[in-house]
Amino acid sequence: MNNNKVLFSAGATTLACSLLLGCNAANVGQNLLDKSVSPAPSSASAQPAAGGSAASTAAETYKNKDRNFSFVIPAGWSKQSGDVNSDTVIFMQEPLSKTCSFQFNLTRMQADFPAEASVKASLDSAKKDIKIDKNLSAKRRDESGMENGKKVRFTRGWELTEKGQAGGHQRIIYQAYDRQNYYLNMMAAAETEHFEECRPALQKIIDSIKFGG
């Protein structure tokens, strides 16, 4: 794989999936994701992609100003493509052969899109997938905080952890809708064989996602 082509675009697949309300995160962009999160060359001298960056020497907080959220990328990771203030960005841990990655993708929904119904249906589907051994866990995850002296809900969403399959990818996924009905897909992933090694860092990134402030 060319390591500067680690791309995931939710796009039309996400929109079509969300409009059905019962589609869960494991199916969002499945085919695109299978092509994107692939083993990168193990060369220690691999260079970041065009528009990418060198590996960080310390944990670094990034903020998307338009959607008002932040997340923390650990030391030893580098940006591979995209921009934090655009609708998509991808970070990977070095060496890239570990395949540990984090990415987000944003899609604007119509103002009257039924976000709450979509979250409930998607979470219900994700929980049912635990029973058929596709997911390890699934939970509701809304983000709230103080604004102008009042407590407000910034997002409504859900988080799940997949059960990996040999030869595939395993992911921790946080999906949400913000107050302007932007759909946000935040995903930490690795090839299944690398997932347990990567898992503490992946979960830490997902946990670090904060809205507001």
pLDDT greater than 80 at residue 119? yes
Does some domain include residue 62?
A: no
User: Domain with 166 in it: what CATH number?
Assistant: 3.40.1000.10
How many residues are there in the chain? Answer: 213
Using an 8 Å Cβ cutoff, are 158 and 175 in contact? yes
Does some domain include residue 52?
A: no
- 121-154 pLDDT, tens per residue? 999 999 999 999 999 999 999 999 988 889 999 9
Does some domain include residue 43?
A: no
Does some domain include residue 60?
A: no
The CA distances from residue 75 to 54, 55, 156, in Å, are 11, 7, 30
pLDDT of residue 44: 36
pLDDT of residue 56: 84
Does some domain include residue 199?
A: yes
pLDDT of residue 125: 97
Give the total number of structural domains in the chain. Answer: 1
pLDDT greater than 70 at residue 4? no
* 62: Cβ contacts below 8 Å, ≥ 6 apart: 70, 71, 72, 73, 84
pLDDT of residue 11: 35
pTM value is 0.79
Does some domain include residue 171?
A: yes
Classify 149 in phi/psi space as left (phi over 0), alpha (psi -120 to 50) or beta. left
- 48-107 pLDDT, tens per residue? 555 568 888 899 999 999 999 999 999 999 999 999 999 999 999 999 999 999 999 999
- 152-202 pLDDT, tens per residue? 999 999 999 999 999 999 999 999 999 999 999 999 999 999 999 999 999
pLDDT of residue 54: 86
pLDDT greater than 80 at residue 14? no
pLDDT of residue 18: 43
Does some domain include residue 48?
A: no
pLDDT greater than 80 at residue 8? no
Q: How confident is the model at residue 42 (pLDDT cuts 50, 70, 90)?
A: very low
pLDDT of residue 157: 97
Domain extent for 171: 11-38+68-211
Distance CA 123, CA 121 (A): 6
Does some domain include residue 3?
A: no
pLDDT of residue 180: 94
